[in-house]
Amino acid sequence: MASPGATPPAGDEPVTMACGAPSGGDMAEVLSRAEAVSGPLHAVVLVSAGIEATVSGELGGLGAAQWRQRVEVPLERTLACFQGAYRRLRTRGGCLVVLVPTVALVGSSGFAPWATVAEGQRSLAKAAARAWGPEGITVACVAVPGALLRSAVAPGDVGPDRPGQPPPSLARSPDLRTTVAPVVASLVSDRWSAVTGATVAVDGGVWMTP
């Protein structure tokens, strides 16, 4: 989380915060503190699946407690983020972007909890896009290779894979800072103001799914 004494960023420089707010009200308070550092927010970007959701394991061996920790808790946090973002953006409009792994689009053996969380996030994004569009709030998902998100949690982790995965058609894999971040920056700009509820795949042309 940005420290209270952080130097205010220049222009539209983003403020990054680590947050596990359990409710929309708590999340709105976190975003209020971010605004104290950066000025009024016009976009919120969620980069999270919950650490436990990224742990591999056989679906048939998951108990109720594991399912709750790996799926229900991350989705509850996602809902809190959505609700908190709405409370900060509803009076002026803006954009909410959720980074999800591409397993949300194609599945991955051994990563059913993470795929479930990611697909749940996409469903929430589409529902929110329909509900909040009249208030000038757009919502979008950016699907990236799971390895990028897993490495943010556990540096050096290769992330989920699946047999027969094709190579990137662009002959290179994306990077969070140099290729994914510019796409997110474009999504939250006025240039994409007519697009909402969509999932944009930024995976170098691996899956080419809608």
Paired with 26 in beta bridges are none
User: In the structure encoding, which two tokens stand for residue 62, read together?
Assistant: 């998951």
What distance in Å separates the CA atoms of residue 191 and residue 116, rounded to the nearest whole number? 31
pLDDT score at 129:
98
Express each pLDDT in 47-82 by its tens digit.
Answer: 876 667 777 778 888 899 999 998 999 999 999 999
Size of the chain in residues? 210
DSSP state of 160: -
Share of the chain above pLDDT 90, in %: 44
What distance in Å separates the CA atoms of residue 183 and residue 119, rounded to the nearest whole number? 20
The architecture of the domain spanning 24-201 is: 3-Layer(aba) Sandwich (3.40)
What distance in Å separates the CA atoms of residue 89 and residue 6, rounded to the nearest whole number? 23
Q: What share of the chain is helix, strand, coil (3-state, %, to 5)?
A: 45, 10, 40
What distance in Å separates the CA atoms of residue 35 and residue 204, rounded to the nearest whole number? 34
What distance in Å separates the CA atoms of residue 134 and residue 129, rounded to the nearest whole number? 9
User: In the structure encoding, which two tokens stand for residue 180, read together?
Assistant: 């994914």
pLDDT score at 207:
84
What distance in Å separates the CA atoms of residue 82 and residue 132, rounded to the nearest whole number? 11
